[in-house]
Amino acid sequence: MSPRWSVFELGVVRAAGFGFGLVEGLAAPALYDATVEHARITAELDAAERAYLAATRVPRPAGPEDVHHTGRCLRRLRQRQPIGPDAPMPPDLADAAFAERWNVLCARLRDSAGPLGDAYAEALASARDHLDRSLRDDVVRAALVLLTPEILDTAVRILLRRPPTGAAPNQRERKMAAFLQRLAAKCETNGVAGPIGYARLGAGTVPLPERAAHRGFLAYWAARELAGIWLDGADLGGRSRRPGSRAPTLPARSPAARYVRAVAAGRLDPRPERLRELHRRDLLWVGGFAVPAGEPDALAALGAVAAGLPDAAAGALVRRLADAAAAFAAGDATTKLDVSARVGRLLGERGVDASRRGAGALYADRVPLYQETYDPRLALCLDAPARDRLAARLAPVLDVAAAAGVQAWCAARDRFTEAWRAAFGAAARRSLTDVLSALEIQREQPVTGTPVAGELAALVADRWDGVSRTVLLPPADVSRLASPVGPAPPVLLSPDLHFDTTDPERVRRADAPIIVGELHWGLQGLTNLCSLLPNRDTLSGATRRWLGATVPELVHVATSQRFGKLCYLELLPHTLELSGPATSADRALRTDQLDVLDDGSVVVRDSGARIALLLGDPQGRLQSPLGVPSAAWPTVDLGPFTPRVVVGDVIVQRATWRLPAGALAADASPGLPRYSAAVRAMLGRGVPRRCFAGTAGERKPFYLDLASPHLVDLLLAEAKGGPVRLTEMLPGPGRLWQDAGADRRVCEVRLAVRRSTGPEPGRRG
C-alpha cells in the first residue's frame, strides 16, 4: 500500500434496487440495429452530396444550361432521389460510378425505411408491455412510493387504465421510463429502491447488522417542527439552558448579549414566552428542544425531547410515530401510502404545518417518513492484502486529486488573507464570530482551475491521438504531477468505485479493473449511510483511531438544516455549532470560543489548540481556508469529445461527448422522425448505445439507451433544445459483479481514505 494513503476499515456498498433487466426492457435492439443501418446509409448519402457540391464549384458550370442541369441534379441529391445517366457530372465525378453508387444508396435508404418504421412501432409496443408489467409488480410499486408517494394515484393509475395511443411515447410513459432508470441504473439509496450493504476492508472492529432489515425513519423537518410545538406548551422552569449558535453574533458588551449570558447561566429567569423567543432565534437553547441535524434518527432525537416533558402524550406520540415508521418500512405500496397519510394527519392534528409537504426539492424534504434497507447479500469483504492492493492502485489518482485540492485551498487561503487585510487591517487575530460577520469562510476556487489541473489536461491532450476513445497514462507520469505539492492539512476523500467484472471473487481480491465514479471530498461515506449499523459508538472510536492525532484537529460543523436525509455523523471529539446544535452539548464548540488568524488558521482561545473545520464541497468547487482542502479529481475537458482517461489500470474519467444547443433536432416531428434524427446526431458523433446524459438544470445525470424510444424522448424533453453532456456507461450491463438476487445489479462501493499529513504550507506552527 502506498504510505501516502490509508483506507478506513468500513465502506458502504450502494446498489440499485432492481436488476438491470428492469430498464433493459425499455430497449429494442432490433430498432437500434435498424437505426444504425439507416444512419450509416444517410451518412454515406450526405458525404456523396458534399462531394458533388464541392466538385461543381471548381470549375464552375460553363453556361446557363449547365447551371440549370447542375441545379436540377443537386435538388435530386438533396431530396435523396435517384439520378439518371444523363445527369451532369463535374469532371472529377464524370464516370458512372458516382451515379451508380448514389442510386444504390437511395434504394437502400428507401428499403430501410419500412423495417425501421416497423421496428419503431414494435419497440413502442414492447416497451409499453414492459411498463405495464413492471408497474403492476408489488416491489416496484413499493419502490415508486419511496421515490414519489403520489405517483401511484396519478401517472401510474392513469397509465394502467388507458391503452397506448399515438405513434410516439406519451408524457406518462416517458415519466415512468424515468422512474425505471432510477430504480435499475442508478444507486438511489432509498429502501428497496436502493439498499445498503457494508464493505469490510481488512480487520474490522465496527460490528455489522446480523440480518436483513427494513427500517423506517421520521423526516428531520417533522421532528424539528414537533419539537418547536412542544416548546410552546412546555413548562420551561428549571430546564437547562445554553447559548445558541447566534448568541455570539450579538455585540459582546451589548445589553442583549449580557441578557442572554445571564439567562444561560441561570442568573435571570425570564417569562416562558421570552425563553421560547430566544430559542426560536437560536440565541438560547432550552433543554433538549433543539433537534440536531447531525442525528440521522430523528425519532431518537424527538424521543429525547419527549422524555423531558411531564405530559405523557408526547412520549405516546413518539411511540405511535415509531410504530408507524416500522409499519411503513415493512409494508407494501398500499401500506406505505396508508401509513404515510395517517402520519401526515397525525402531525397535522398536532399543529405541524401541512404545507411543509412539497416545500423541498428532495424526497426527505417532502414526506414525513422514509425508509432504509440493509441487504446482507451486498456485503463485501477484502482482507488486508487486498485492501492495500486497492489503495496502491488508486494512489496516483488520489495524489492528483489531493494536489488539486491543496492548490485550490492555498489559493483560497491567499484570497482570504487579502480580504482579511481589507476588513481588519494589521490585526493578526480575531474571533470567529467577527470573521463570520465580515468575511466569506468558503470561496469559489474550483480544482479545475489549479496548475495541477492544467498540467493534467496538457498530459492527456499530448497523449491523445485525436481519434482514439481511450488515453492511457502511466501512473508514474500522473504521480509526478502531484510531486511538487507540499504537505497540507489532512486530505480526506470518499471515492465511489465500480468494478468492470462479472466475477465477485476478483472484486474481493482487488484485482478487477477499477472505474472511479466520483471522488467526493471528506467523509461522505460516514453519513446517514451508516445509520443501520448497530453501534455508532464503535464506529466513532474506529474513526478516531484511524484519523489519529491530526494537526490541526478535525472538527465537525453543525448546521440548522440538512439536505434531505443527508447528515454527517458526528464521530469526532468536537463539533462547532455554526448555525445549529451539536448532537451532544458536551463536545460542542461555539464561535465565540474560537479565534481565527490572518492566514485562516483556527485556534481554541482557551487552550491554543489548532483545529480545522470539516467544511467542504463534494465537487471541489468551494474551498474554506478555515478547514481542510476540498479535494477532487480535476475533470479534463478537451471540447466536444474527451476520451476515456485511464491511469494504469484505473479508469478515472469516462469518455464524454458535449453536444451544443440544437444538436439533437428536437424540432422534428414527434415519433420516429424525432427519434431517428436525435439518434443519428448522436451516432454521428460516436456516442455509444448506453450512456448517461446530463442537461442544464438537472442535478443528476440519467441513464440513456439509444435503443429505447422512451429514454431518447426523455432526453429530448429534459434537454429542451439546450446543450447536452453524454458520458459512456461503465461498466456496461454485461459487466456487473453484484449478484444479489436473480438479476445483476448496478453497484458502487464508497470508501473513506486519508492522506498522511505533515506541517501545512505557510501556516503558523
What confidence tier does 288 reach under pLDDT thresholds 50, 70, 90? confident
Q: What is the mean pLDDT of residues 739-762?
A: 77
For residue 625, which of 456, 474, 412 has the smallest C-alpha distance? Answer: 412
What confidence tier does 484 reach under pLDDT thresholds 50, 70, 90? low
What confidence tier does 361 reach under pLDDT thresholds 50, 70, 90? low
Lowest mean pLDDT among 121-125, 345-349, 361-365, 529-533: 361-365
Residue 53 pLDDT exceeds 90 = no
Residue 358 pLDDT exceeds 50 = no
Residues 307-343 have pLDDT tens digits of 888 888 999 999 999 999 999 999 999 999 999 999 9
Residue 360 pLDDT exceeds 60 = no
pLDDT confidence of residue 74: 84
Q: What is the mean pLDDT of residues 678-706?
A: 94
Assess whether the previous peptide bond of 723 is cis (omega < 30° from 0).
Answer: no
What confidence tier does 504 reach under pLDDT thresholds 50, 70, 90? very high
Residues 515-553 have pLDDT tens digits of 999 999 989 999 999 999 999 999 999 999 999 988 899
Angle at 650 between CA 644 and CA 651, to 5 degrees: 25
Q: What is the mean pLDDT of residues 359-364?
A: 54
For residue 25, which of 184, 193, 186, 187 has the smallest C-alpha distance? Answer: 184
- H helices present in 504-599, as ranges: 504-509, 536-547
pLDDT confidence of residue 60: 58
CA distances from 179 to 156, 370, 481, 628, 714 (A): 11, 17, 42, 37, 11
For residue 35, which of 496, 519, 596, 684 has the smallest C-alpha distance? Answer: 684
Contact 18, 183 (CB under 8 A): yes
pLDDT confidence of residue 58: 57
pLDDT confidence of residue 668: 83
Q: What are phi and psi of 350, to 5 degrees?
A: -90, 0
What confidence tier does 62 reach under pLDDT thresholds 50, 70, 90? low
pLDDT confidence of residue 28: 97
Count CB atoms within 10 A of the CB of residue 205: 12
- DSSP readout, 51-97? HHHHHHHSSPPSSHHHHHHHHHHHHHHHTT----TTS---GGG-SHH
Q: What is the mean pLDDT of the chain?
A: 90
Cα gap 130→22, rounded to integer Å: 8
Q: What is the mean pLDDT of residues 618-641?
A: 93
Contact 363, 370 (CB under 8 A): yes
Residues 124-147 have pLDDT tens digits of 999 999 999 999 999 999 999 999
Residue 356 pLDDT exceeds 60 = no
Lowest mean pLDDT among 24-38, 63-77, 221-235, 457-471: 63-77
CA distances from 47 to 111, 290, 615, 668 (A): 20, 69, 55, 22
Residues 578-587 have pLDDT tens digits of 999 999 999 9
Tell me the three cell numbers of residue 491: 486530505
Cα gap 296→291, rounded to integer Å: 11
For residue 197, which of 755, 758, 737 has the smallest C-alpha distance? Answer: 737
Contact 340, 218 (CB under 8 A): no
Containing 681, the helix (H) or strand (E) segment is helix 672-683
Q: 724 has which bridge partners?
A: 659, 695
Residue 401 pLDDT exceeds 90 = yes
